[in-house]
């Protein structure tokens, strides 16, 4: 699948992968800073997200193959990947299948383990919106606010609303395919993957996605892994404390 992407900068290739219900534009600001540090930054929309094609098939292996096609068609070598949440699992899966293309890996607030489905509240809020019946974004915001408490999640979802060709509001993501395959999002990294690429696991201090007790299992699959926690940040580490996140990740990429 040919993914939509944006590109900036010149130097070592750095691909940044967004999380569930996200898009490459979530990383637009940080990508400029990485570009200033001599990286060729590519921020794709993963399948069923943003402006990339839609498909009924949606799992980590397919998303890793989409990234492989991007790397191959752009003739990229010695690639670094940053992946947040679902994007982190895609990055880990890619490293397990095509390690020879990678230089370094940064996995943001996601572990190798299985995560039970926990997006029911967000899915219910998305279904409640019915964007085709709305006349403006404020109406969508009010409906989301009825269901969701976290302001960051509300604003994150609202970025996905756009005016389609029929001049109706619509979601950028393919909610039907995502919901149908929601079990795939929580799947553990295959046990057979043994990865020796230098990998930085970044967690948010206030997030529970990567816990201390998860580290031994991660090290069984990632022999060259380091772990850091970013203060004053939850699951949206890069958005909640962008300065510390950027400083720590650039240091690792350039080490």
Active site residue 18: no
Question: Which neighbouring-strand residues pair with 236?
Answer: none
Which of 18, 49, 84, 235 is an active site residue?
235
Q: Give residue for tokens 């590109």.
A: 7
Which of 31, 85, 203, 229 is an active site residue?
85
The per-residue pLDDT for range 15-48, each reduced to its tens digit, is 999 999 999 999 999 999 999 999 999 999 999 9
CA pair distance 76, 14, nearest whole angstrom: 10
CA distances from 75 to 2, 8, 101 (A): 14, 16, 10
Q: For the whole model, what pTM was predicted? A: 0.96
Question: Would you state the pLDDT for residue 106?
Answer: 98
Active site residue 85: yes
Domains identified in the chain and CATH numbers: 5-115+188-254 (3.40.50.1820), 120-180 (no CATH)
pLDDT grade, residue 119 (50/70/90)?
confident
- Strand ranges of the sheet holding 39-44, from the earlier edge strand across to the other edge: 5-8, 39-44, 12-17, 79-84, 102-108, 199-204, 225-230
């Amino acid at each position: 699948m040919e993914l939509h992407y944006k590109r900036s900068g010149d130097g070592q290739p750095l691909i940044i992968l967004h999380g569930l219900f996200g898009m490459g534009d979530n990383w637009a600001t940080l990508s400029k800073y990485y570009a200033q540090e001599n990286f060729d930054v590519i921020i794709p929309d993963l399948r069923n997200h943003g402006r990339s094609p839609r498909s009924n098939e949606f799992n980590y292996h397919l998303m890793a193959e989409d990234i492989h096609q991007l790397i191959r068609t752009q003739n990229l070598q010695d690639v670094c990947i940053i992946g947040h949440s679902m994007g982190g699992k895609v990055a880990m899966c890619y490293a397990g299948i095509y390690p020879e293309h990678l230089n370094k890996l940064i996995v943001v607030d996601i572990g190798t383990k299985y995560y039970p489905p926990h997006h029911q509240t967000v899915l219910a809020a998305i279904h409640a919106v019915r964007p085709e019946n709305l006349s403006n974004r404020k109406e969508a915001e009010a409906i989301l606010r009825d269901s969701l408490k976290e302001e960051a999640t509300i604003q994150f979802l609202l970025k996905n609303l756009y005016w389609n060709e029929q001049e109706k509001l619509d979601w950028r993501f393919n909610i039907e395919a995502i919901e149908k395959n929601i079990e795939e999002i929580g799947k553990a990294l295959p046990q057979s993957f043994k990865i020796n690429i230098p990998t930085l696991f970044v967690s948010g201090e206030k997030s529970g996605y990567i816990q201390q007790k998860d580290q031994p299992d991660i090290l069984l699959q990632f022999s060259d892994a380091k772990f850091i926690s970013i203060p004053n940040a939850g699951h949206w580490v890069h958005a909640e404390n962008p300065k510390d996140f950027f400083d720590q990740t650039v240091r690792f990429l350039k080490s």
